[in-house]
């Protein structure tokens, strides 16, 4: 009986070794199959990641365009519209040569009330002015003129001809920038 038990143990050992041998024979095949599956899964994951990155880049670009659109619309509505109104008005500039209307029409200066014009809107939204074409510097000078008109500081140390010329040129620059802004807005909307 003891022998029988030893034979059984020996037989179990031989069976185990045989199983291990067959697993060893198939291990190369199993490893190759696992590698192929891993390559397929990695390729699919890479493809999905690429699609997600493309979609994210498109969303970021769309967000940038929307921000630019909002900025341009705000500039046109909140800054340029009031500027054109004031530059076309008969609001006087208090200079060393007397009161000079912004629009250059001295016959129609009358009692132009600066408080009826959207000057405060221009002050509030002056940060929207672009840096191009010296518009920022021109706006700063224009606001100094408005400060003199509102009595916030002394008279502007510029003569009549310079004021009329400046206001005319500034209005033309603003009109040109309005056109550029509208073109840029149109291009952004078309994208």
Instruction: Report if residue 134 sits inside a domain.
Output: yes
Closest CA to 129 of 66, 53, 180: 180
What does DSSP assign to residue 91?
Answer: -
Which residue has tokens 């040569």?
97
- Which of the residue ranges 16-25, 57-66, 96-105, 167-176 has the most confident prediction, judged by mean pLDDT? 57-66
Structure tokens at 71: 């900025």
Provide the pLDDT confidence category of residue 76 given band limits of 50, 70 and 90: very high
pLDDT tens, residue by residue, 23-75: 666 777 888 888 999 999 999 999 999 999 999 999 999 999 999 999 999 99
In a domain, 44, yes or no: no
pLDDT of residue 50: 96
What integer pLDDT is reported at residue 1 of this predicted model? 47
Give CA 116 to chain center in angstroms: 34
Query: What is residue 42's predicted lDDT score, i.e. its pLDDT?
Result: 96
In a domain, 100, yes or no: yes
pLDDT tens, position by position, 109-118: 444 555 666 7
Q: What is the pLDDT of residue 61?
A: 93
Domains: count for the chain: 1
165 is written with which tokens? 């010329």
What is residue 153's predicted lDDT score, i.e. its pLDDT? 62
pTM: 0.68
The predicted structure's pLDDT at residue 170: 87
Domain-embedded: residue 146: yes
* Enclosing domain of residue 155: 65-190
Q: Express each pLDDT in 171-186 by its tens digit.
A: 899 999 999 999 999 9
Residues 6+ apart with CB under 8 A from 122: 79, 82, 83, 86, 139, 143, 146
Q: What pLDDT, on a 0 to 100 scale, did the predictor assign at position 110? A: 47
């Amino acid at each position: 009986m003891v022998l029988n038990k030893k034979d059984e143990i020996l037989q179990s050992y031989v069976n185990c070794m045989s199983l291990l041998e067959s697993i060893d024979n198939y291990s190369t095949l199993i490893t190759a199959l696992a590698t192929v599956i891993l390559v397929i899964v990695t390729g699919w994951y890479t493809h999905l990641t690429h699609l997600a990155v493309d979609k994210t880049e498109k969303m970021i670009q769309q967000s940038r365009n929307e921000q630019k659109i909002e900025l341009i619309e705000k500039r046109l509505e909140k800054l340029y519209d009031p500027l054109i109104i004031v530059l076309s008005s008969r609001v006087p500039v208090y200079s060393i040569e007397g009161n000079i209307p912004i629009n250059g029409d001295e016959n129609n200066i009358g009692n132009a009330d600066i408080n009826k014009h959207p000057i405060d809107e221009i002050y509030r939204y002056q940060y929207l002015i672009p840096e191009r074409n010296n518009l920022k510097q021109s706006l700063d000078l224009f606001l100094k003129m408005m400060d003199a008109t509102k009595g916030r500081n002394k008279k502007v140390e510029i003569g009549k001809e310079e004021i009329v010329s400046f206001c005319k040129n500034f209005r033309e620059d603003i009109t040109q920038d309005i056109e550029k802004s509208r073109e840029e807005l149109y291009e952004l909307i078309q994208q």
